[in-house]
Structure 1
Amino acid sequence: MEPKVEYSGGLLLPRGHNSLTHGVTRAVPGSVHALALGGGYAVGPRDGRTVYFGRNRPLVHVCLGEDDQQVSRRHGELTHHKGRWWLRNTGRRPIRMPGSQWLFADEGAIPLVEGYTPVHVPGSRDREHLLEIYVTGADGDQPRSRHNADTDPPRPYALTPDEKVMLVALGRNYLLREPNPKPLTWKEAALRLAELQPEAGWTAKKLERRVSVVRDRLSRRGVHGLTREEVGEPVGNALNDNLLRELVRSTALTPKDLELLDWGA
């Protein structure tokens, strides 16, 4: 049986504590706050210090999904190492990170950025359990408001005209704002491209090769979820789904681009 956790040097956050979305009161630079529905825990930075979260309240600092047996007794941990807080999954089920990325138990720990990070642990019957994490910045204060500052514009990825046309064909459903879009099949997209550009010799294989080049390029730029190693087997539509979501998010593709294929938005 695992030993009970110790709370030395930390602060328990009560049930009903305010959400961390708006930051935290001034704290020691580099501290971490972790909060779930039943309360949370805050502690300052120290190399090797660990905050546990999971279902079994006596074994963790932050109890998450206490009544849900799909959540592991100790589902994960936050560890301070070399000046940063790191998140590791130690549970049976993956942890969903922002951007619909998944952290699995057989992966290493990932570093947390300063500020707010929400993570979700999937439970039974479509339940999801939210763990809010807030890492205090170097000044120990909340991020300053920037009410009057200029808005940072999105930075779309550069695509050649041919790349844009083929990705619009593949991502038609995303640009039509469907609630749960899926990429067209290689064959479906290639047929539409062949109608539009009969001289270009579009085939399903050619389209697959060209899209793979774009995925590789964006993967080298740091976009996650564009390689088989990152998404795991079975791959299914995951690679193209991640690619198209990233292109739409960055405004590299917009609904207006449907006009390139004579598809109305």
Structure 2
Amino acid sequence: MVQGSVGAIDRSWAEPLPPAVGSLARGGWSTTSGTLVAKSVDGGITVGPKPGRSVLFGRNVDEVHVCIGADDRRVSRRHGELRCDGERWWLHNLGRAPIRLPERRLFPAEEPLPLADGYTPVFLPGSREHLLEVYVVGLAGDRRAADHARATIAPSTWPLSADEKLALVVLGQHYLLHEPNPQPLTWRQAAEQIGELQPPASQWSAKRVEHLVGRVRARLSRGGVPGLTREEVAGPVGNALNHNLLTELVRSTTLVPPDLRRLETPG
């Protein structure tokens, strides 16, 4: 843990990352093995690997390298640390509340967790969950793995209209939160939440959401994505079509965790 006053925070070895930079789910923009990129909605940093190097994150902008949850007093001033041992980066919980990762939670005073190469979304609890995106460049550099299984070459992301994207973020929020065994919301649940986010609520019926999502499913099916039509799903359809759709949209980074900001009520 880094001790000391505000002046002890040394940023000279870090390259700042502006808030406007896109989601790290699409890559870390570095070819140097071991490089760490970390960002919140307020910006972040890119840091090369070096034994003992420490990246602090939390809500007090003067005491951390990456500020997150600045307006939320339930987030600790220094909530966590990303520390390099020379070979890999480790996540430490320095705060009072658990840190949530896709597969588990890291509790205060618990042994640190090693970060895998590639993308890891880290969620801090508060009045709402705050997202810290982390990307560790692996030995092969920041390159996308080839996918030889597809008959059709899909674009890196799929085009969506503004209404389609809002409907899909709401419908698939559990996928973007990286919850275990996520399921889509129902049409009614999605319509009610969208109506609160984008009034008047009367313009958002369950049928309208179903129509928007069905339009996207049909478009991706024509583009070569399997499992999006009733004929391709064996047995009861249930949520299978929407599950397959949302899985593809997250896999292709068409939808990324920072899109969850669309769920914040205006005002």
Quickly name the TM-score band, shorter chain normalised. 0.5 to 0.7
Q: Secondary structure at the match of 2:120?
A: strand
Do the aligned partners of residues 81 and 68 (structure 1) sit closer, same or farther apart at CA in structure 2, a change above 3 Å counting? same
Which among 89, 105, 110 is matched to residue 107 of structure 1? 110
Could you say which residue in structure 1 is the equivalent of 2:28?
A: 24
CA contact (8 A) 1:24 1:142 kept: no
CA contact (8 A) 2:49 2:86 kept: no
Could you say which residue in structure 1 is the equivalent of 2:149?
A: 149
Looking at structure 1, the residues matched to 105 and 145 of structure 2 have their Cα atoms a distance apart, in angstroms, of: 30
Do the aligned partners of residues 73 and 109 (structure 1) sit closer, same or farther apart at CA in structure 2, a change above 3 Å counting? same
Unmatched segments (≥5 aa) in structure 1: 152-174, 180-254, 257-265
CA contact (8 A) 2:56 2:64 kept: yes
Do the aligned partners of residues 178 and 116 (structure 1) sit closer, same or farther apart at CA in structure 2, a change above 3 Å counting? closer
1:11 Cα deviation from its structure 2 partner: 0.5
How is 1:1-265 mapped onto 2 (pairs within 5 angstroms)? 2-4=5-7, 5-99=9-103, 101-124=104-127, 127-146=128-147, 148-149=148-149
Looking at structure 1, the residues matched to 142 and 19 of structure 2 have their Cα atoms a distance apart, in angstroms, of: 23
1:103 Cα deviation from its structure 2 partner: 0.5
Deviates more, 1:31-40 or 1:3-12: 3-12
Q: Secondary structure at the match of 2:62?
A: helix
Spell out, residue by residue over 1:177-217, the C-alpha distance to the aligned partner (whole angstroms, 9 max, x if none). Answer: 797xxxxxxxxxxxxxxxxxxxxxxxxxxxxxxxxxxxxxx
CA RMSD of aligned residues (A): 2.6
What stretches of structure 1 move > 6 A for 4+ residues in a row?
A: none
Structure of higher CA gyration radius: 1
Looking at structure 2, the residues matched to 32 and 89 of structure 1 have their Cα atoms a distance apart, in angstroms, of: 17
Looking at structure 1, the residues matched to 64 and 143 of structure 2 have their Cα atoms a distance apart, in angstroms, of: 27
CA contact (8 A) 2:28 2:136 kept: no
1:13 Cα deviation from its structure 2 partner: 0.5
Do the aligned partners of residues 43 and 150 (structure 1) sit closer, same or farther apart at CA in structure 2, a change above 3 Å counting? same
Looking at structure 2, the residues matched to 46 and 178 of structure 1 have their Cα atoms a distance apart, in angstroms, of: 42
Could you say which residue in structure 1 is the equivalent of 2:165?
A: none
1:150 Cα deviation from its structure 2 partner: 6.5
CA contact (8 A) 1:25 1:142 kept: no
TM-score, normalised with respect to structure 1: 0.54
Q: State the AA in 1 paired with 2:108.
A: A
Looking at structure 2, the residues matched to 83 and 150 of structure 1 have their Cα atoms a distance apart, in angstroms, of: 35
Q: Secondary structure at the match of 1:57?
A: coil
Looking at structure 2, the residues matched to 50 and 60 of structure 1 have their Cα atoms a distance apart, in angstroms, of: 10
Q: Secondary structure at the match of 2:57?
A: strand
1:10 Cα deviation from its structure 2 partner: 1.6
